[in-house]
Structure 1
Amino acid sequence: MIKLIATDMDGTLLDENGKLPKDFLPMLDNLMENDIKFVIASGRPYSSLYKIFKPISDKLQFICDNGAFVVENKQVLSIDVIDKDKVHDIINTCMEIPNIGITLGGTKGIYQNPCSEEFERERIKYYTNAIVVEDLCTIDDDIFKIAICDLSGSSENSYKILEPKFSNELNVVVSGEIWLDIMNKDVNKGNALEKIQKDLNISYEETMVFGDFYNDVEMLQKAHYSFVMENANEDMKKHGNFTAKSNRENGVIRAIEDYVIEKIS
């Protein structure tokens, strides 16, 4: 029996307009009544996720910032801070890469460099309360994630520069068509989910996971019921044991109905 469900957000649970499916809240009530845990696992920051899931946010577990920041019932379970010298090295390297913007996730706030309207339209989708700072190296905060918005395409532009330079010490992952995230080496959604599984004494066979992009790969490996979305890139499909209908067709909801709700009704 499935006891734990974890899902990515963008391109997975959320529809093509970035909205929750209309059937989500009734489904979640049903799951909670049957003591099935539900985990939101996203590259988004906690503040953004908390807002989306009001008024039930305090009842959920959140793997935020790809696992660098984990929260349960408003209690911070873990924060994985990046060494300050490494943060400065990454910032300085990024300043030499054309057509990108930098956002830093810290324990005191979210920070970004000044940007054009084109960048701001993309950033505001995920980072609604960022503080604009002229020199990001002057920030007095503990940084746990660096997000790169790359309008030239993250896999073809910034990844090819940042991954060779920093991947020995840090996790450099393409998290969207124009997004790239950098965290500490062992930080990913999969390791964060594994900690939750151990805390709850829930096994691989009792876990269901949904994802669509490369930052979901490690998380998909933690569940027998691993679903890659139909709308994912073709090379992602090999990382799941199952395929869910696209996010445009509410694929997460449909799979949960078929594999979980029908069995507990």
Structure 2
Amino acid sequence: MIKLIATDMDGTLLDENGVLPIEFTEILDRLAAKNIKLVVASGRPYYTLQANFGPIGENLSYICENGALVVENGKIIYESSIDRNLVHEVIECAKEIVGNAVILCAANCAYVEKNCSEGHLNEIKKYYKIINPVDDLKNVDDDIVKITICNLENSLENLNNVFKPKFGDILNVVGSGEVWIDISNTGANKGVALRKLMNTENITKEETMVFGDYYNDIEMLAEAEYSFVMENAPEDMKQYGKYIAASNIEHGVLKAIIEYAL
């Protein structure tokens, strides 16, 4: 019997326009009636996820910032801050590459530099609803749980050729979308965060269902017996799921929930 369902947002639960399916509220009520816990697991920050779900999200649990922040019943129960010296090293490295915009993610806001281009800002604002512009990111005095790098042209190339070789042994470096690189503490990922929630609720792998579509979902998929990779995911991602769900355009998450959990 399934007791917990965790789902990624972009490319997974959300449709091609970044919108929740119309039937989501009904499905959420049906899950609640069966005492099945729904966990939203995203690279997005908590304050953005709150805005995304509004009042219907009050009873959800949230794995935010790709696992660096976990919120249960409106309270932060886990937070993994990056050492400030490492934050500065990543900033310096990122600034050496043309086309990079760096976002420092704290629990309550995202920091960007004031000279950030309009193109980058338009992309950043899709996911970060509270932005604090600063003159120099190195002067930010806040606990940083994730460093995000947006490059509209060469994100994956930079990921594999620069950031993973340089920081992969000391930080968790992952592609979280076509133009995004996310960097957090080693051990701060969606899988570790999900395991914390499962242990808190005494829920087993056999009682867990997970949906994902991108490389930052791999560890989370490994925590569930019912692991679904979306049909719209990159082909090499599909090896990490036991099942393939219909695409996000077809509302594959809800279809699988109805079939396997409801």
Given the two structures, how large is their TM-score scaled by the length of structure 1? 0.97
Q: Name 1:63's counterpart in structure 2.
A: 63
Alpha-carbon shift at residue 204 of structure 1 (Å): 0.5
Alpha-carbon shift at residue 158 of structure 1 (Å): 4.2
Q: Do residues 79 (structure 1) and 79 (structure 2) align?
A: yes
Contact 1:150 1:158 in 2 (8 A): no
Tell me, in whole angstroms, the C-alpha distance in 2 between the residues paired with 1:208 and 1:177: 25
- Which residue identity is paired with 1:18? G
Gaps of 5+ in 1: none
Contact 1:99 1:151 in 2 (8 A): yes
1:210 alignment partner, SS class: strand
Matches within 5 A, 1:43-122: 43-113=43-113, 114-122=115-123
Tell me, in whole angstroms, the C-alpha distance in 1 between the residues paired with 2:231 and 2:59: 29
- Which residue identity is paired with 1:156? E
Q: Are residues 255 and 107 of structure 1, via their aligned partners in 2, closer, same or farther at CA, if it must alter by over 3 Å?
A: closer
Given the two structures, how large is their TM-score scaled by the length of structure 2? 0.98
2:101 alignment partner, SS class: strand
Alpha-carbon shift at residue 108 of structure 1 (Å): 4.8
Tell me, in whole angstroms, the C-alpha distance in 2 between the residues paired with 1:153 and 1:239: 25
Tell me, in whole angstroms, the C-alpha distance in 2 between the residues paired with 1:70 and 1:85: 24
Which structure 1 residue ranges, 4+ long, deviate > 4 Å from structure 2? Answer: none
Q: Do residues 15 (structure 1) and 15 (structure 2) align?
A: yes
Q: Are residues 108 and 259 of structure 1, via their aligned partners in 2, closer, same or farther at CA, if it must alter by over 3 Å?
A: closer
- Which residue identity is paired with 1:247? N
Q: CA RMSD in A?
A: 0.9
Contact 2:11 2:232 in 1 (8 A): yes
Matches within 5 A, 1:186-197: 186-197=187-198
Contact 2:2 2:208 in 1 (8 A): yes
Alpha-carbon shift at residue 134 of structure 1 (Å): 2.0
Q: Name 1:258's counterpart in structure 2.
A: 259
- Which residue identity is paired with 2:243? F
Contact 1:97 1:158 in 2 (8 A): no
Q: Name 1:166's counterpart in structure 2.
A: 167
- Which residue identity is paired with 1:139? V
Matches within 5 A, 1:108-257: 108-113=108-113, 114-257=115-258
Gaps of 5+ in 2: none
- Which residue identity is paired with 1:64? C
- Which residue identity is paired with 2:70? V
Tell me, in whole angstroms, the C-alpha distance in 2 between the residues paired with 1:107 and 1:205: 32
2:261 alignment partner, SS class: helix
Contact 1:80 1:144 in 2 (8 A): yes
Tell me the matched-pair count. Answer: 261
- Which residue identity is paired with 1:136? L
Deviations 1:226-263 (A, max 9, x none): 000000000000000000000000000000011111xx
- Which residue identity is paired with 1:49? L
- Which residue identity is paired with 2:161? K
Q: Which deviates more from structure 2 when the two are superposed, residues 40-49 or residues 125-134?
A: 125-134
2:219 alignment partner, SS class: helix
1:71 alignment partner, SS class: strand
Q: Which deviates more from structure 2 when the two are superposed, residues 47-56 or residues 13-22?
A: 47-56
Tell me, in whole angstroms, the C-alpha distance in 2 between the residues paired with 1:160 and 1:79: 29
Q: Name 1:2's counterpart in structure 2.
A: 2
Alpha-carbon shift at residue 97 of structure 1 (Å): 0.9
Q: Which deviates more from structure 2 when the two are superposed, residues 116-125 or residues 181-190?
A: 116-125
Deviations 1:191-235 (A, max 9, x none): 000111111011111100000000000000000100000000000
- Which residue identity is paired with 2:141? D
